[in-house]
Amino acid sequence: MNLLILRLLIGAFIAFLVGKLVSKIRLPAILGWLLTGMILGPHAVGIINDRLLTANWYHIILSIFECIMGLMIGTELVLKELKRTGKQIIITTIFQSLTTFFVVALLFGTIFYLTNIPLYLALIFGGIALATAPAPALSVVNEFKAEGPVTRTLIPMAALDDIVAIIVFFSITSFISAANAEKSTPLYVTLAIMILLPIAIGIAVGFVGGIILKKERLGNTSLIITLLLILLASSVGFVFNNLILAEPVINFMLIGMAFSATFANMVSEERLSELRNAFNPIIEFSLMIVILNLGAPLDYQLILGAGIFTAVYIISRAIGKYTGAFLGAKMTALPKTVERYLGLTLLPHSGVSLVFTGIAATTLNTFDPASAAILQGTIAAAAVINEIIAVIIAKKAFEWAGELEKQTQINLPSDLSINSN
């Protein structure tokens, strides 16, 4: 175990250095972290090997870091702010997610109809495609101190998008499983465990946190208290995963989001700003480790073996995300920069897509292993190719929207209100 911990520390140190080097050429550090994960992962150098990636303690650490990532989203979900924009964001989220599903499912459905591949596989591709990996875009926001309408729309959407994705994906897989297998878990049970349970855990611990964190304290006391509360919330998640549910299905980012959203609505604006500033370095480190882990399982050799299905998947998903976000923002009268650039910030995908693919492939293997192989090969190659391209595009989208730190300091646009046209 000591050797595995050393491997992780070496990987984190190298990722940090590569991230700094990548930043020097005006690209997001996340690209360096992702590439470092791929290079150090089991398919290349092997410093971050399979033993490390499958170790229980490693998954516990990752879950805590994912919980910490949720703070970046939750502290932005202040009700008095959301009252102005919440309806617009919810409608735009649903619109861009479902548009992506229909574009990908329709295109693959046409191809599969002509090639005699089961049509239900097209629905699974659509369900996987609508999810967005929040870590890459949030990392760009955090690194470049992005601020503006696109950023303020994206942050709450990062959580809402995953909720919509979970509902659609598990509805599809439950329906297909029920139609082709003898037993399947009821959909309402799956959704309760995947969405309602982590949110309930986060709210319960966050309420306690709000009471404690209201008071100002000297030094790093508030930071230590917040960390202890995160560990408490994560521990409850571990209890459900390991003792009650007997499988790792709890979404720890949702726990962190609900936890921080709860206390964010209980403390003053000044106090919340203090807590955000104190916690920012820990959030940045958490993002780095999560992205490093995201890159490690990716096999760079899949780029060479990518076929037509991979190209169709990447292109159709990008069209769906961009078109859906554009139309949703236009329909809800969000600012022009949101219309033009929000969809580009939603392209990162690999973490969520690989999780969903694993679940879908396990289901398909019981009655259609050939379709499972098509799904796994396509998404694995797409994860590598899409993530490298998507990180660069996401950063450029914030730049084109004029929301990076230096841009907003030089030229504060007059339409920063999210309700303006």
DSSP string, 112-145: HHHHT--THHHHHHHHHHT---HHHHHHHHHHHT
What type of residue is 400?
Answer: W
Question: Burial level of 348, CB count in 10 A (0-12/13-18/19+)?
Answer: buried
Lowest mean pLDDT among 75-79, 291-295, 413-417: 413-417
- Interatomic CA distance for residues 344 and 399, integer angstroms: 11
- Interatomic CA distance for residues 398 and 395, integer angstroms: 5
Q: What are the DSSP calls for 176-201, one per residue? A: HHHHHSS----HHHHHIIIIIHHHHH
Count how many Cα atoms sit within 13 Å of the Cα of residue 280 in the half-sphere of its side chain: 11
- Quick one: how far is CA 52 from the chain centroid? 22
Whether 378 maps to a domain, the answer reads yes
Whether 243 maps to a domain, the answer reads yes
Whether 415 maps to a domain, the answer reads no
Does 347 score more than 80 pLDDT?
Answer: yes
Domain holding 347, by residue range, is: 2-410
Whether 417 maps to a domain, the answer reads no
**Number of domains the chain contains:** 1
Whether 70 maps to a domain, the answer reads yes
* pLDDT winner (highest mean) among 134-138, 153-157, 309-313: 309-313
Give 417's DSSP letter. Answer: S
pLDDT tens, residue by residue, 165-189: 888 888 888 788 777 765 556 767 7
Question: Burial level of 104, CB count in 10 A (0-12/13-18/19+)?
Answer: buried
Dihedral angle over CA of 327, 331, 334, 337, nearest 10:
30
- Model confidence at 245, pLDDT cuts 50, 70, 90, reads low
pLDDT tens, residue by residue, 48-87: 998 998 888 898 998 899 899 888 778 877 777 667 667 8
Q: Are 48 and 413 in contact (CB under 8 A)?
A: no
Q: Are 125 and 105 in contact (CB under 8 A)?
A: yes
What type of residue is 187?
Answer: L
Residues in the chain: 421
The mean pLDDT of the chain is 83
pLDDT value at residue 300: 72
Q: Are 395 and 27 in contact (CB under 8 A)?
A: yes
Give the CATH number for residue 249: 1.20.1530.20
